[in-house]
Amino acid sequence: MVKRYTSQEYKAADDMIFGKSIYPVKSELGLEVGAGYVTAEVNYAPRPEAGVSKEKLVSEYRRLTTDIMARAVQIGFPAVSLETEHVEQMTNNPSWGGEIAHVQKTILEEYHEEYGIKCGLRHTPGDIRENRDLLALIGPKYDTLMESFEAVAEGGADFLSIETMGGKEVLDYAILRNDIPGLVYSIGCLGSTDMTMIWQDIRKIADKKGRIAAGDTDCAQANTAMFIAGGLLDKNLAHTIAIIARVIAGARTLAGYEAGAQGPGKDCGYENTIVKSITGCPISQEGKTSTCAHADVMGNLVMQCCDLWSNESVEYHGEFGGTSVQCWSETLNYDAALLNVATETGNAKLLRDMLVLSDKYRDPQGYILAYDNAYKIGSAIVKDGNDLYLRSKNAALACVDILNAADSKKLVMSKFEKNALANAKAALDSMTDEADNFMSDSLEKYKAEVAVFRPDDNYKF
Amino acid sequence: MDIDPSKILVRYNVQKEKAQTPEEMAAEMYPSAEPARTIAVAIFEGEEDDVVEALEKALASGADPVKLIDDTLMPGMDIVTKLYDQGVIFLPNVMMSADAMLEGIDLCKEKAGTSAKAKGKIVCHVAEGDVHDIGKTIVAALLRAAGYDVVDLGRDVPVDEVIAAVKKENPMMLTGTALMTTTMYAFKEINDRLLESGIKIPFQCGGGAVNQDFVVTYELGVYGEEAADAAKMADAILSGKGLAQLKEHFHKH
Ligand code: B12
């Protein structure tokens, strides 16, 4: 049994700030995350041609790692962290991922020795637990995944992460139908159940190898919702529904920490401010400096409480200013330098609040994720923290209430967004308070409606 | 610290929103005759039970099931699609309406035996190695909503399987979705294999990683930016447009 959070580690929203967390973590090569300064976390993807063989992949990662480190010392940055999100071959063949981690770590060590630059390395094996049409969360693929974690930890990765997919088969169905109970079930219940299982095992591996079980993200669900919702003029999903999915993701990503994760949380978890308010653990975030990978409507705001600052992903190739990883790592590092100046000069809260205000009213999603409101969502989650269902539903309800209470002259919502919100509220109000009933009703409902939902094979309820 | 945000951002979605509500706009489009009206309302509202109930009533009083599809279900769904195209309603409404309409179609087909036929058959798939299938699911749903018979091969579909399905189903069009720069090259291979077999159907490609510049590099490829383009293109094919005309119409530059 894992211990669930029933209170928040941060006692006030205003205490939350970038670069600082209550429980910092430290990498082998001196990088402290959340200990008072923000560090760039550089992300990259190999060129498609590089995936054909292990040798080519290893050499691609060797080159790009060296590029990043060379640029970091050229411009005089004190620290840098790297994240390697596996391409599928690297996880399915654990020794590939392991060797790449080792090659990268060796380069970091050389730079650390020569220049004293503080470095961190995150590896994120892909969640390979699926067959062509069905999730396969438990079974042989799970074992391969765990071998992959062992291999990258052995190879030298400081931070172990994954973007788990539990609940995705139901989410994909529910999100296209404005099905709010379906969001609570897929993200809050199925997702948390899967994460509770997998993160206990990741933590064991981390402890065994002296590494850090870092954290997860609800990329598979909340980011899917955010991308379907898209920009202001897209017509595929109300942004008010996308943010409901996001706050439920707060309750879900939390489950990883309850099962052993220690941070830094994964960059693409836009729910991370909510999670940080509860756990006090450091987080990575991405926004205005990840436009190479995707667009969002809160690029500045998400910097508010970050401990690592990431570009999500960029293909390794040439740009006018160097290779892509050099260009983006430089931008990230300059962003981090500005944040750190604010801290050094006592202006951190001022800068934080400016970042927030630049996006707080741009969209309902930013409004809720602004740290003051995110903190309130955190409070709603821990209220019934021991009940995965109730805490997810509470998060959704709090989100709806905060949006409804917003100053309508500042947060201007379309009729469509308001309508979707009203419907969501009605759906939430008619949901039961009994987790057992909800779980058994949902099981029946989605087994009947979603052909690819195979609960017995995938979840240890 | 707080701010009046009006000087730093504009919510263009609010600015652009129509004065009329979707319900009001739909009401203006409903047919006047019954049962078409009741069925159109039920489809718009996504109430499958009401659709089925109205159809059963009509069938019991001797209505022809095939005519019910053509004269009530299709026009009812057409209202929803039009409002979606105009940006008045959003995708989940379309999905729920389509679910309701398809339930009605199933019922009518059952009653009609083999005589009911779709506007045409279309094969959909996600490229080999790619599991990103939400875009494809949307494409398939919108095609079904427009009255096409969709053979959905799912995601991560090997090239061989796509070719075999096209040979077996003999569709009027094939769609492909890819979200990764690493997987979209399968489309070129599919194109070559189709041509080798002498099959020259339009192969409409879309999804996050795919762009027009890539799609024009293979003969059968037509690029689609949005899911709704798939049904528009199928309609264009039915109206007699060939590959060249499709490219001219659907390509943006
Ligand atoms: C959601 C998501 C996932 C989900 C997918 C859930 C699902 N069931 O689809 C999950 C979590 C499973 C996932 C996994 C991975 N993902 Co992913 N994912 C995304 C994300 C965030 C959004 C994609 C999405 O659903 N968009 C919304 C849909 C509706 O859009 P769409 O498919 O493009 O469809 C629209 C149009 O294109 C059009 N359309 C689509 N098809 C067609 C066809 C026709 C004929 C027409 C006319 C129109 C049309 O209609 C739709 C609506 O208009 C993107 C980010 C991004 N920037 O796109 C990354 C992204 C696609 N993923 C990426 C990666 C790398 C991965 C992983 C490899 C991560 C990992 N390390 O494990 C795995 C892939 C595993 C695999 N082998 O495929 C990268 C791809 C980079 C690249 N190489 O090009 C992206 C771009 C993120 C990034 N910036 O790095 N991912």
Q: A244 and chain B: CB distance < 8 Å anywhere?
A: no
Angle in degrees, CA B120, A450, A139, rounded to 5? 120
Supply the CATH number for residue B203's domain: 3.40.50.280
Residue B30: closest CA among B17, B20, B39 = B39
Q: Is residue B138 part of a domain?
A: yes
**Centroid of ligand 1 to alpha carbon of B126 (angstroms):** 11
Q: A176 and chain B: CB distance < 8 Å anywhere?
A: yes
Q: Do B12 and A233 touch (CB under 8 A)?
A: yes
Q: Tens place of pLDDT for every residue, chain B, 253 residues?
A: 999 999 999 999 998 888 888 899 999 999 999 899 999 999 999 999 999 999 999 999 998 988 999 899 999 999 999 999 888 888 989 999 999 999 999 899 888 876 667 789 999 999 999 989 999 999 998 999 888 999 999 999 999 999 999 999 999 999 999 999 889 999 999 999 999 999 999 999 999 989 999 999 999 999 999 898 999 999 999 999 999 999 999 998 8
Identify the DSSP state of A345.
T
Q: Is residue B154 part of a domain?
A: yes
Judge contact between A418 and A372, C-beta under 8 A: no
pTM of the model: 0.93
Note whether B189 and B238 are same-domain residues.
yes
What does the alpha-carbon distance between residue A191 and residue A388 come to, in Å, rounded to a whole number? 10
Note whether B31 and B140 are same-domain residues.
no
What does the alpha-carbon distance between residue B56 and residue B110 come to, in Å, rounded to a whole number? 12
Domain that holds residue B41: 22-112
Note whether B179 and B198 are same-domain residues.
yes
CA distances from B101 to A411, B12, B118, B177, B202 (A): 37, 33, 14, 25, 27
What ipTM, to 2 d.p.?
0.87
Contacts of residue B252, Cβ cutoff 8 Å, sequence gap at least 6: B212, B225
Judge contact between A414 and B87, C-beta under 8 A: no
**Centroid of ligand 1 to alpha carbon of A274 (angstroms):** 25
Note whether B26 and B106 are same-domain residues.
yes
Indicate the residue among B112, B139, B168 that finishes a domain.
B112
Note whether B90 and B129 are same-domain residues.
no
Report the number of distinct structural domains present in chain B: 2
Note whether B145 and B237 are same-domain residues.
yes
Q: Which atom of ligand 1 is nearest to the CA of A230?
A: 27
Pocket of ligand 1 (CB under 6 A): A 45, 85-86, 88, 126, 163, 165, 172, 219-220, 223-224, 227-228, 293-294, 312-313; B 129-136, 138-139, 175, 177, 179-182, 204-209, 224, 226-227, 229-230
Tokens at A49, concatenated: 């041609």
Q: Is residue B12 part of a domain?
A: no
Note whether B89 and B149 are same-domain residues.
no
What does the alpha-carbon distance between residue B213 and residue A130 come to, in Å, rounded to a whole number? 32
Q: How many CA atoms lie within 13 A of A393 on its CB side?
A: 22
Indicate the residue among B57, B80, B112 that finishes a domain.
B112
Note whether B144 and B213 are same-domain residues.
yes
Q: A408 and chain B: CB distance < 8 Å anywhere?
A: no
Residue A81: closest CA among A91, A68, A96 = A68
Q: Nearest CA of chain B to the CA of A300: how many Å? A: 13
Q: How many CA atoms lie within 13 A of A19 on its CB side?
A: 21
Q: Is residue B75 part of a domain?
A: yes
Q: Nearest CA of chain A to the CA of B111: how many Å? A: 24
Supply the CATH number for residue B58's domain: 1.10.1240.10
**Centroid of ligand 1 to alpha carbon of A7 (angstroms):** 36
Note whether B141 and B73 are same-domain residues.
no
- Candidate from B87, B133, B134 with C-beta closest to A228: B134
At A142 the three-state DSSP class reads: helix
Domains of chain A, CATH where assigned: 13-449 (3.20.20)
Q: Is residue B197 part of a domain?
A: yes
Q: Where do we find the tokens 């021991």?
A: A386
Residue A80: closest CA among A297, A335, A274, A447 = A335
Tokens at A84, concatenated: 């390697």
Q: Tens place of pLDDT for every residue, chain A, 461 residues?
A: 899 999 999 999 999 999 999 999 999 999 999 999 999 999 999 998 888 899 999 999 999 999 999 999 999 999 999 999 999 999 999 999 999 999 999 999 999 999 999 999 999 999 999 988 899 999 999 999 999 999 999 999 999 999 999 999 999 999 999 999 999 999 999 999 999 999 999 999 999 999 999 999 999 999 999 999 999 998 899 999 999 999 999 999 999 999 999 999 999 999 999 999 999 999 999 999 999 999 999 999 999 999 999 999 999 999 999 999 999 999 999 999 999 999 999 999 999 999 999 999 999 999 999 999 999 999 999 999 999 999 999 999 999 999 999 999 999 999 889 999 999 999 999 999 999 999 999 999 999 999 999 999 999 88
Q: Do A232 and B8 touch (CB under 8 A)?
A: no
Judge contact between A38 and A302, C-beta under 8 A: no
Q: Which atom of ligand 1 is nearest to the CA of B91?
A: 52
Note whether B102 and B216 are same-domain residues.
no
Q: Is residue B13 part of a domain?
A: no
Q: Is residue B5 part of a domain?
A: no
One DSSP character per residue, A268-327 reads: T-TTHHHHHHHH---BEEESGGGTTT---S-TTGGGTT-SEEE----B--EETTEEHHHH
Q: Where do we find the tokens 């206990």?
A: A200
Chain A interface disruption, residue of B2, B6, B9, B20, most A CBs within 10 A:
B9
What does the alpha-carbon distance between residue A179 and residue A424 come to, in Å, rounded to a whole number? 8
What does the alpha-carbon distance between residue A392 and residue B187 come to, in Å, rounded to a whole number? 41
Q: Which atom of ligand 1 is nearest to the CA of B208?
A: 33
Q: B142 and chain A: CB distance < 8 Å anywhere?
A: no
Q: Is residue B28 part of a domain?
A: yes
Note whether B129 and B224 are same-domain residues.
yes
Note whether B161 and B238 are same-domain residues.
yes
